Amino acid sequence: MIDIELIRKNPEFVKENIKKKFQDGKLCLVDKVLELDKSKRALQTEGDGLRAQRNELAKKIGALMREKKLKEAEEIKEISKKNNERVAEIEKECAEVEAELKKAMMSIPNIISERVPLGKDDSQNVEGKVYLKAEQKTFEVPYHLDILESVDGIDLDSARRTSGNGFYYLTGDIARLHSAVLTYARDFMIDKGFTFCIPPYMIRSDVVSGVMSFEEMDGMMYKIEGEDLYLIGTSEHSMIGRFMGTTLPESKLPQTLTSYSPCFRKEKGAHGLEERGIYRIHQFEKQEMIVLCKPEESDYWYEKMWNYTVELFVSMEIPVRQLLCCSGDLADLKYESCDIEAWSPRQKKYFEVGSCSNLTDAQARRLGIKYKNEKTGRNEFVHTLNNTVVAPPRMLIAFLENHLQADGSVYIPPVLRPYMGGKDKIIPKK
């Protein structure tokens, strides 16, 4: 949610930003916000005037009663009664206007960075830097599900019986590899100075609406029936929600946190060849990084965060690239975002394994997260950022394809061997 002062002072700038995101249908929201804001302030002014008048009327009634002027006192009482009725009406109208105003404000996208390339959808995202030369295999690389089955690492049939499509059992060395990568990623981020956290896996609706747009919520979140609770789609949700309604001392910034959690997603509308396997699923685990910082520091942390993910993948000897998300591919709360994509030797193209986002103060405004500026003494909104350290389902695909050997074994790079009991490869059983 952007600052309403920006809409009041420069509505055309806000409209231009909406156009850059190719969301022309939302242009009317700017004028709607201005109208609602005007109505709200008019109601507040009228209400304040009536409340001040009410105090004066009370004094007059008291004076008339002391003077035994009962008829005049009754007339003033009648005026006071109507005054009170109107104040009650105003309070009700004001609450309705505020609710409508908030809804409109939350639908207006965040202002995007000048660095964001303009484009209508993800087909117009722009390649950034490439890290590690992509290896050209001398043999045909099988589909990742076939590799997993060759090492007895997955059981999809049982998962379909217990849970349906979009779930799986990982077994043996693959299950161990899955945990090894998460543990390595945890230690990697702790070594970078981040504090490790394990958050709640369910959050209330006021946190959900604070961390994401309505459209994202509908497409992602599972609701717990009969309760005001949702399963998290990523630990960012509960990690940012942890600071809801708080004002941090400036000395406590930046907050640099890394969190582990399972993640639950509807994956509404998911389709395509890559659905066969573990590319797009309803449940997975992830190591995340979250930063809360002062506004002037968020660009610095954005660069630092996505580079940490690159460093992690390079240390596991997996080629990756940075992909700059264009304006039309940015979620409404995002100021700037990039994907980290791993090389697929089978498909001979890159695919997403993580995403880094700077949301400036958009989440903080929704959730009321501030810090006390020591220079000005004012409470100001923090900036929030999030980034995937590693999400094993997609990482496993990249890992298996890039480290598959001609004999069907899977090479384990040195950084992961301590977490794999010293193993340097996984041997096929089929």
For 311, the 3-state DSSP assignment is: helix
Confidence of residue 9 (pLDDT cuts 50, 70, 90): very high
Q: pLDDT, tens digit, for every residue of 140-165?
A: 999 999 999 999 999 999 999 999 88
Domain with CATH 3.30.930.10 in the chain: 122-426
For 388, the 3-state DSSP assignment is: strand
Q: Which pLDDT score, from 0 to 100, does residue 50 have?
A: 84
Q: Within its chain, how far is the Cα of 269 from the centroid? A: 19
- Decide: residue 295, CB within 10 A, 0-12 exposed, 13-18 middle, 19+ buried: middle
CB count within 10 Å of CB 14 equals 21
Contact 416, 426 (CB under 8 A): no
Quick one: average pLDDT of 222-246?
94
4-107, CATH topology level: Helix Hairpins (1.10.287)
Quick one: average pLDDT of 345-357?
95
State the Cα–Cα distance between residues 376 and 295, nearest whole angstrom.
14
Nearest to 256 by CA among 287, 291, 293: 291
Q: pLDDT, tens digit, for every residue of 373-429?
A: 999 999 999 999 999 999 988 999 999 999 999 999 999 999 999 999 999 999 998
Six token digits for residue 383: 């900036």
State the Cα–Cα distance between residues 381 and 111, nearest whole angstrom.
15
Q: pLDDT, tens digit, for every residue of 256-276?
A: 999 999 999 887 655 443 456
Indicate the CATH number for domain 122-426: 3.30.930.10
Lowest pLDDT segment from 21-25, 59-63, 308-312? 59-63
Q: Which pLDDT score, from 0 to 100, does residue 214 have?
A: 65
Quick one: average pLDDT of 338-362?
96
Domain with CATH 1.10.287.40 in the chain: 4-107
For 344, the 3-state DSSP assignment is: strand
Confidence of residue 131 (pLDDT cuts 50, 70, 90): very high
| pTM of structure | 0.89
Q: Which pLDDT score, from 0 to 100, does residue 316 have?
A: 98
Give me the chain's average pLDDT, please.
92
Q: Which amino acid is at 159?
A: A
Question: Which pairing describes strands 410-411 and 425-426: parallel, antiparallel, or unpaired?
Answer: antiparallel
